[in-house]
Amino acid sequence: MTAHRDPLPSRTDVHAAIDNLTSEAGRRPSVLALATHLGLANTTFRRNYPDICSELAAIARTPSGTTASDAYSKVQANNARLRRDNRDLAAELELAIAAIQRLSIDNGLLRAALHDARAVTPLPRRPR
């Protein structure tokens, strides 16, 4: 009695399965999910399609399937946004400092005016 083996799927079938799973899930499938979808053991799939496994692993390492240059562009854009926000916040901080200084001066002047107002000598009332 000889063991009957089902033929392995072609590379075209594997790529079609990747596209199918990607459209269903909205992201690239893991190697295990792809192997299960194709009805293969994980090790069998990895042994027979190492290049596809490497490709899927590389996609999984980059955030949301972007390439390294896209990730670098996102980092640059985030840095530019953070620098703008930092400049805006620094300007608002300067305005807040100026407002506090002005309020401190006004407070000093009002306290001096209150002190002067309390120093007024009351006049005695005339008897009637």
Residue 29 in contact with residue 21, Cβ under 8 Å?
A: yes
Average pLDDT over residues 97-106: 97
The highest-confidence range among 75-84, 92-101, 119-128, by mean pLDDT, is: 92-101
DSSP 44-80: HHHHH-HHHHHHHHHHHHSGGG--HHHHHHHHHHHHH
Residues shown for the chain: 128
Model pTM?
0.45
CA atoms of 28 and 18, how far apart (whole Å):
7
Q: Which residue has the tokens 């799939």?
A: 45
